[in-house]
Structure formats: C-alpha cells, structure tokens
Structure 1
Amino acid sequence: MTEQINLTSRQCYVVNPAPVFTRPAHHRHNLPAYNKQLVDTVSGRDVARWAGFYFYDAFHHRTNKPVVRQRHFNKHRARAINALVQAMVYHLNIVSGTIPVSFTTLARESGLATTSAAGNESITRATRAAHDLAAFGLITYKLLWDKVTRQFFPADIEVTDRFFDMAGSNPQAWEKARNQQLAWINLGLAKKGEKPLTRTEATRRQKEKLVEIAWQRRKTAQDIRRKRKIAALAARKDETDLRHQISCQIQHELSQGLHKGLTLDGFRKLVNQRLAWIQTVARQQE
C-alpha cells in the first residue's frame, strides 16, 4: 500500500497536471490571421513530441554546453511546454519575432504559476519549459539587469525559424506573414504622414515599448509603497505634528528656489492641500 501511495504521489507531483493556455479576459482585440492560425494549430498539436527534439542536439541556454538527455520529456514537462507554446504564439509579434510579455505573464496565462501558503508566486515550471525550448534553439532570451532598481527587466524573448516548424508552420509562411503585417503597419503610418518602418526599426520600437511598460509598472509599485509609508506616517502622528512636518518640507523647498512668489496665504493653502492629501491616502489604505 505504501509503495502504491508513493508511486501515485510521484506521478502527480505538480499543482496543475493539465495546464492549458487561457486567453486573458480583458483582451478584446482580434488576433492577426497568422497568430490565429498558429494558436489553432498548436492547440490541437502535441508540440512537445516535435521530431526536432529527437533530431537536434541540445545546448544549455547559459553555458552553451551540450545537454545529454537519457530520455525524452516526462508527461508533466511535455504538458508545460505545450501550454507555454500556446501562450507564446498568442502574444507573438509577427514583425519583430518577439514575445512582448514576461515569463511571469506567460506562466500565469498557461496555468503554470503557483502560489505558496505564504503568498509567494513561483513560475519555475514555466521557466524550466522555456529552458528546454532555448536548449533546442527554438527561442532565445536574455535578462536585462537594471542597476538602479536592482531588478530584472522582463526577458527579451525571440523566436527562431525552428519555432515555427515545431508550431506546425514553416519559416516561409512566417516571412510572408511578417511582410504583410509590416506593409499594413506602414499603410497606417503613411495615412498619418509618417515615414515607413523597416523591420529592424519595428523590432527596436517593440523592444523599447516592452522596457517602457516595465518602467511604468515599477513606477506604480513604487507609488504604492510610498502611499503605504504615508499611511503609516499619518497613523503615528496627530494633525499638529503632520502640519509642522509639512511646513518644514515646504520651507526647505522654498530655500531650493521652488514656489517663487508664494505668499503667506499661499503657504497656508499649500500646507492644507498636502495635509488633506495625506489624510485621504491614509484612509484609502485602511
């Protein structure tokens, strides 16, 4: 009996044994025809059993050393690869050949993200599947380290020609689709009186957009932390202390050349405005 229980536990050691990509509910746009074709194809295709996984040599995504496989993917890794690829073809930017979302987003939409009892999110299952795709030359990706915020930007994920063969298409169909998509984009730019884009420029803009989105999200996170600090500050101090602290801050700003022409009445008004804002934020955090 004990052996049977252990065997069953070993066979189902993942939280979601049958992950499937789910399109985000807030996405209302129509997919480009080529993306839709890829989504339909990979949804009914076991891409983890692609012949290239048996034919091509695998190399570690970081060290580039050969990976010696004694067996093929087990069923849980295979299902993870299938779900992850579905998410990738959905988000694929046809022109640039990039996946303009993070691995975290891909993991969540693919059913590969888990949350611990402590509330910590893990996307390890998705990243391991991505490592396999990279090892066989289906995708490339790199993580950009931001020295200022000491965080990684979302991975710069790009697909290769092999990716489309695995997805049931081919590089020639991708080339045709990206040329059509670029022509459609340039038609819209021409109507606005703007210069047409080259494929290189379109790729560069796509990557810049991804970085900008990452910065905006971090700014939002920083604002949330700042508001929490303000709420804690308001909870520790009474109104008189807060008013004094705000007045000192504005006085410092005046010494730095800010608020030129500020009158005494204007000074009082500014203090009252900031005090009201702090109290409003504090109530929102309760």
Structure 2
Amino acid sequence: MTTHHKSARRQCYVVNPAPSFVRPAHHRHRLPAYNKRLLGMVQSRDVTRWVGFYYFDAFHHRTNRLIVRKRHFNRHRACALNALVEAMVYHLNIVSGTIPVSFTTLARESGLATTSAAGNESITRATRAAQDLAAFGLITYKLLFDKVTRQFFPADIEVTDRFFDMAGSTARAWASARNQQLAWINQGLVRNGEKPLTLTEARRRQKEKLVEITWQKRKAEQDIRRKQKMATLANRHSEPDLRHQISCQIQREMSQGQHQGLSLDEFRHLVNKRLAWIYAVARPRE
C-alpha cells in the first residue's frame, strides 16, 4: 500500500502532466507557410525520440562540460520538451533563426508555467527543458543583464541546423524558406526606396526590436507602479499633509542649489503644481 502510494505520488509530481502549446487568442496573424508545416511535423511526433539525442554528446550550456547521461528523458521531461518545441516553432523567425519572445512567454503558452499560493510565477520546468535543448546543440541562448533596471532582458534564443532535423525537417529546407522570405522582404524595401537586407542585418534588427519591446513593456510597468504609489499616497494623507511633504521636498531641493531665485508666489505655484500631478496620476481611469 505504501509502495503504491509513493509510486502514484512520484508520477504526479508536476502540476501539468500533459502540457501542450496553445496559440494565444489575440494572435490573428497568418502563420508563415514554413512555420505552419514545421508545427504540424512536431505536433505529429515525439521529438524526444529524435536519433540525435542518442548519437550526440550533451554539454552543459554554461560550463561546456560533458554531461554523462544514465537514462533517457523521463515522461514529464519529454512532455515538457515537446510542448516547448511547439511554442518555439510557432514563434520562430524564419529569416533570423531566432525566437523573438522570452522564456516566460514560451512557458505560459506551452503550459509549463506555474503559480504558487503566494502568487509567484515559476518557469523552471521550461528553462530546464531549454537547457536540455542547448546541451545537445539544438538552440543557443544568452542572458543579458540590464544594469539600469536591475533585470534580465529576454534571452537571445537562436536555433541551429540540428533543431530542424529534430523537428522533422532539414537545414536545407529552412535555408530555402529563409531565402524566399528574405527576398519577399527586400522586394518591399526596394519598392519603398530602402536598401535590401542581408541575413546579418536582419538578425541584428530582430534583436534590437526585441530589446525595444522589452523597454516599452518595462516603461509601462513602471508607469503602473508609479500610479499605484501615487494613489496610495493620496489615500493615506490629507491635502494639508501632502502640501507639507511637498513643501519640505522643495525646501531640500533649494538647499541643494535648485530653484535659485524662487519667489514666494513661485514656491506656492510649484507646490500646487506637484500636488495636482499627484492627484492626476492617482485618479483612476476607466
């Protein structure tokens, strides 16, 4: 009885034992033909049975040390790998060979993200599956740390020729689809009087676009946090208290050499201006 209980608990130690990729509901765009064919291939087979997992050596994605495998992927890791590969194929940029989304997005869409009772999100299951793909040379990824916001940028994920072999296609088929897609893009650029793109330039632009999207997203998150902070401040303190705090702040700024030549009326105007800004930011918008 005890042995049976332990066995059942071991088989269900993951939150989602059958993860699968689900296309986001807000995605209305038409998937490129090559991505559509490749997605159909990976959905119709178990990619963890790819012969390369038995043939190639695995190396740690950071230390590059040889990983000695004692067994093949267990059932839960195999399901995670299949779901993650589906999400990667869906988002794959054919020209640049990159996955222009974060591991967090991939984990959510493939059913590999979990949320604790405290509300903390975890994508460990997805990152471990990605580490397996990187160990066998199927993908490469780099984590870039932003020293300004003290956060990581989304990983710079690129696929290799082995990735397409694992997915059921070939590197030659990918090259053909990539050249066709690049020619179509360049045709539109030339028509608009712009210079045609090379593969290197297309890859660089794709990476810059990902960083820019990340910056815009973080700016929006900072604006939301600022509004929440101002709303809390406006609710906790009365108007006289806020005026007092603002006046003290301006006084400290004046002692540090700011607002030189500020008159009493200008001081009052500055206090009123900052108070109005706090109420404007804190005001809920429908």
CA-to-partner distance for each residue in 1:98-149, whole Å, 9 max, x for gaps?
0000000000000000000111101011011001000000000010011222
Report the alpha carbon displacement of residue 246 of structure 1 after superposing the two structures with TM. 4.8
Structure-2 residue corresponding to 1:143: 143
Report the alpha carbon displacement of residue 235 of structure 1 after superposing the two structures with TM. 2.3
CA-to-partner distance for each residue in 1:65-86, whole Å, 9 max, x for gaps?
1110111000100000000000
Pairing 1:209-228 to 2, within 5 Å after superposition: 209-228=209-228
1:99 equivalenced with 2:102 (yes/no): no
Q: Which moved more, 1:1-10 or 1:16-25?
A: 1-10
Report the alpha carbon displacement of residue 248 of structure 1 after superposing the two structures with TM. 6.9
Structure-2 residue corresponding to 1:170: 170
TM, length-normalised to structure 2: 0.90
Structure-2 residue corresponding to 1:117: 117
Structure-1 residue corresponding to 2:66: 66
Report the alpha carbon displacement of residue 275 of structure 1 after superposing the two structures with TM. 3.3
TM, length-normalised to structure 1: 0.90
CA-to-partner distance for each residue in 1:30-59, whole Å, 9 max, x for gaps?
011111111111111110111110111111
C-alpha distance in structure 2 between counterparts of 1:241 and 1:210, whole Å = 44
Say which SS state the counterpart of residue 6 (structure 1) adopts.
helix
C-alpha distance in structure 2 between counterparts of 1:223 and 1:76, whole Å = 40
Pairing 1:29-44 to 2, within 5 Å after superposition: 29-44=29-44
Report the alpha carbon displacement of residue 247 of structure 1 after superposing the two structures with TM. 6.3
Q: Which moved more, 1:225-234 or 1:144-153?
A: 225-234
C-alpha distance in structure 1 between counterparts of 2:71 and 2:284, whole Å = 55
Structure-2 residue corresponding to 1:204: 204
Structure-2 residue corresponding to 1:17: 17
Structure-2 residue corresponding to 1:55: 55
C-alpha distance in structure 2 between counterparts of 1:250 and 1:146, whole Å = 32
Report the alpha carbon displacement of residue 7 of structure 1 after superposing the two structures with TM. 0.4
Say which SS state the counterpart of residue 284 (structure 1) adopts.
coil
Say which SS state the counterpart of residue 22 (structure 2) adopts.
coil
Structure-2 residue corresponding to 1:77: 77
C-alpha distance in structure 2 between counterparts of 1:129 and 1:14, whole Å = 14
1:46 equivalenced with 2:46 (yes/no): yes
Say which SS state the counterpart of residue 158 (structure 1) adopts.
strand
C-alpha distance in structure 2 between counterparts of 1:60 and 1:82, whole Å = 20
In structure 2, give the amino acid aligned to 1:171: A
In structure 1, give the amino acid aligned to 2:213: I
Report the alpha carbon displacement of residue 192 of structure 1 after superposing the two structures with TM. 1.5
CA-to-partner distance for each residue in 1:207-249, whole Å, 9 max, x for gaps?
0111111111221222222222212221232223334555676
C-alpha distance in structure 2 between counterparts of 1:209 and 1:197, whole Å = 15
Report the alpha carbon displacement of residue 150 of structure 1 after superposing the two structures with TM. 1.6
In structure 2, give the amino acid aligned to 1:219: K
C-alpha distance in structure 2 between counterparts of 1:249 and 1:185, whole Å = 54
C-alpha distance in structure 1 between counterparts of 2:234 and 2:259, whole Å = 28
C-alpha distance in structure 2 between counterparts of 1:273 and 1:86, whole Å = 53
Structure-2 residue corresponding to 1:6: 6
Structure-2 residue corresponding to 1:261: none
C-alpha distance in structure 2 between counterparts of 1:242 and 1:67, whole Å = 61
Gapped regions of structure 1 (runs ≥ 5): 259-263
1:182 equivalenced with 2:182 (yes/no): yes
C-alpha distance in structure 2 between counterparts of 1:139 and 1:257, whole Å = 55
Report the alpha carbon displacement of residue 282 of structure 1 after superposing the two structures with TM. 3.0
Structure-2 residue corresponding to 1:131: 131
RMSD: 2.5
Report the alpha carbon displacement of residue 276 of structure 1 after superposing the two structures with TM. 3.9
C-alpha distance in structure 2 between counterparts of 1:42 and 1:143, whole Å = 27
In structure 1, give the amino acid aligned to 2:224: I
C-alpha distance in structure 2 between counterparts of 1:233 and 1:20, whole Å = 44
In structure 2, give the amino acid aligned to 1:167: A
C-alpha distance in structure 2 between counterparts of 1:171 and 1:55, whole Å = 18
Closer, same or farther: CA 257–184 of 1 in aligned 2, 3 Å: farther
Report the alpha carbon displacement of residue 206 of structure 1 after superposing the two structures with TM. 0.3
